[in-house]
Amino acid sequence: MSAIAADRPTASPVAAGLIDELRAALAPDRVHVGATELGLYKRDASNIEGRASVICFPLTASEVQACVRIAVAHETPFVARGSGTGLSGGATPLDGAVVIVTTKMNHVLSVDTVNRFAWVEPGVLNLDLSKAVARRGLHFAPDPSSQQSCSIGGNVANNSGGPHCLADGVTEAHVLAVEVVLPDGTLAMLGGEEPEPDGYDLRGVFVGSEGMFGIATKVCVRLTQSAPAVRTMLFDFATVEAGAQTVSAIIAAGMVPAALEMMDQLCTTAVEAYINAGLPVHAAAILLVEVNGLEHSVATDVERIVEIARAHGTGAVRIAQDETERALLWKGRKTAFGAIARIKPNYYLHDTVVPRRRLPEVLREVYAIAARHDLLVMNVFHAGDGNLHPLLVFDKREPGVMDRVHAAGEEIVRFSVSVGGVLSGEHGIGLEKRDLMPLMFAPADLAAQAAVRHAFDPVGLANPHKVLPSAASCGDVQHVPAGAWV
């Protein structure tokens, strides 16, 4: 098939009226139905594929409203999508959905340095916001590893976290208000600039709702003052257990560092080959610890943490001497997922949270699960709050490997929950973990969640088939669609 033929519109006659109305509401060049575009937007960064009927790029809240109203009028599901960095299939379109992409809504609208908040559009990239306010001594605290490419709207949808959320909290703690196009196309303001708006906390309900309650078109985010002093430390350990015990000891000593991150040996080896930072590739695990605050208190915390690490057998102590070295160490942590391509071409990244005291036990089981399924696993995680990110690395061209990958992934999730953990710390439920929700929630709990969803979206067209299993959500599909996994 030629390139021209491949890009020829693929809309069915049934959808023709829908597409014509969308083009009239936006502009023909911001409504796409070519095979190439539909292929690019049939998935997010997860391993789950779906099917879209049309891709729209609105510029304003009124255009988002028009997209939603037209989709509803044609009884067609719609899915909000930001940068597509989500890892749970939350932005994967199903049943020929209309994909409403907010990446062109990418302006920082205003910054209030006195009250420390900013109004931004949903397509603003996470790191770009912090760069925009850095000269004012402020930053946006949630910092996912994908912060160079993930959008604020996506952070809100999934209640994203990041390495520096140990002390500051995840996205929900940094959102004051959200302007939302509700599933019927009306515009609403949830929350407000004041600390305690009147009425129900619908802002808190919306953050983390994964596109089921509407589409954010404007967000008021809390800005955090940048600390005057920062120190970043790197420790290496002969066992993963020693590193995990060091984490628990630091917290038990009454300190809550800005970040506590761990990588195992396989991950460290891949990262070092990528960035050449002098990381100790011989170690079973490395621990990255960052503290910030006033200079005197930071110096005291560094001394105490170094003492704790040595008491738990650290092989070496490395303290970044300047901002360049600190940035290099953080580059290693933030690029870990990309570095694994040096080992295998594909990976399946999981996201669970377990009690800190159970970290050594859970990590041993993760390695055992991978071995049973003849897979490699790399562990890189937010050790301070027990948020695990096991990466199962593989080559999908190998016959039968995907069955082993998915079986191992489900075992990891089930074991994490069995020790008192939860399904997700920051990636969301989406399609990936929807059918595992009963591991955590009783039927009455799921029914209550479905009732809230129904209150926002009685028709059920806003990102359907996500998060809630069929028994709780009145007709959602009971399984990931055939052929969805790749």
Mean pLDDT computed over 321-347: 88
Backbone angles phi, psi at 213, to 5 degrees: -110, 0
Question: pLDDT at position 15, please?
Answer: 64
Give the whole-angstrom CA distance, residue 435 versus residue 170. 25
- Number of H-type helices and E-type strands within the chain: 17, 20
Residue type, 182: L
* pLDDT average, residue stretch 141-161: 95
In the chain, the percentage of residues whose pLDDT exceeds 70 is: 93
The percentage of residues in the chain with a pLDDT greater than 90, rounded to a whole number, is: 84
Tell me: do 214 and 245 sit in the same domain: no
Domain boundary among 83, 101, 119: 101
Residues 348 and 370 grouped into a single domain = yes
Rounded to an integer, the average pLDDT of 13-40 is: 90
pLDDT of residue 194: 85
pLDDT of residue 175: 97
Inside any domain, residue 482: no
Tokens 């859970």, located at residue:
362
Please report the pLDDT score of residue 339 as a whole number: 82
The confidence score (pLDDT) of residue 338 equals 78
Please say if the pLDDT value at position 59 is more than 60: yes
Judge if 116 and 177 occupy the same domain. yes
Q: Report d(CA 432, CA 88) in Å as an integer.
A: 5
Residue 8 pLDDT > 90: no
Q: DSSP assignment, residue 9?
A: B
Inside any domain, residue 282:
yes
Q: Under a CB-based contact definition with an 8 Å cutoff, are residues 404 and 388 in contact?
A: no
Single out the residue in 179, 200, 225 at which a domain terminates.
225
CA distance 169 to 159: 10
Whether residues 240 and 198 share a domain: the answer is no
Q: Which residues contact 2 (CB under 8 A, 6 or more apart)?
A: none
Q: Answer yes or no: is 449 within a domain.
A: yes
In terms of Cα–Cα distance, which of 154, 359, 176, 327 is closest to 250?
A: 359
Across the range 130-143, mean pLDDT stands at 97
What is the domain range of residue 362?
344-418
Opening angle at CA 249, ends 248 and 252, nearest 5: 85
In a domain, 485, yes or no: no
pLDDT at 471 (0 to 100): 52
Q: Looking at the predicted structure, is the pLDDT value of residue 343 above 90? A: no
Average pLDDT, the chain: 91
Instruction: Give the total number of structural domains in the chain.
Output: 5
The reported pLDDT for the residue numbered 307 is 98
227 exposed, middle or buried (CB, 10 Å; 0-12, 13-18, 19+)? Answer: middle
CATH number for position 260: 3.30.70.2190
Indicate which CATH number applies to the domain containing 405. 3.30.70.2740
Residues 352 and 287 in one domain: no
How far, in Å, CA of 65 to CA of 438, rounded?
34
Does residue 399 fall inside a structural domain? yes
Asked if residue 10 has pLDDT above 50, the reply is no
Query: Mean of the pLDDT values across residues 18-24?
Result: 96
On whether both 218 and 245 belong to a single domain, the answer is no
Nearest to 397 by CA among 409, 405, 389, 385: 405
Residues 91 and 129 both lie in one domain: no
Tell me the pLDDT band of 335, cut-offs 50, 70 and 90: confident
Tens digits of residue pLDDT in 194-220:
877 788 899 999 999 999 999 999 999
Distance, in Å, from the CA atom of 120 to the CA atom of 111, rounded to the nearest integer, reads 9
Residues 369 and 448 in one domain: no
The verdict on residue 428 lying in a domain is no
CA dihedral 342, 344, 346, 349 (to 10 degrees): -80
Same domain, 330 and 233: yes
Would the pLDDT of 31 be above 90?
yes
- Let me know whether 144 and 46 are in one domain: no
The reply to whether 353 falls in a domain is yes
Using the 3D structure, point to which of 225, 247, 271 is the last residue of a domain: 225
357-380 pLDDT tens trace? 899 899 999 999 999 999 999 999
Average pLDDT over residues 44-52: 92
Which segments of 227-268 are extended strands (E)? 229-237, 259-264
pTM: 0.91
| pLDDT exceeds 80 at position 168 | yes
Residues 252 and 306 in one domain: yes
Amino acid at 305: I
- Is 477's pLDDT higher than 70? no
Query: For residue 485, is pLDDT > 50?
Result: no
Assign residue 278 a region: left if phi > 0, alpha if psi is -120 to 50, beta otherwise? left
Kindly state whether residues 235 and 328 are assigned to the same domain: yes
CATH number for the domain spanning 46: value is 3.30.43.10
Question: Is 480 a residue whose pLDDT tops 90?
Answer: no
- Look at residue 381 and tell me if it is in a domain: yes
Please give the Cα distance from 294 to 433 (Å, whole number).
42
Q: Which of 27-31, 72-76, 221-225, 267-271 has the lowest mean pLDDT?
A: 267-271
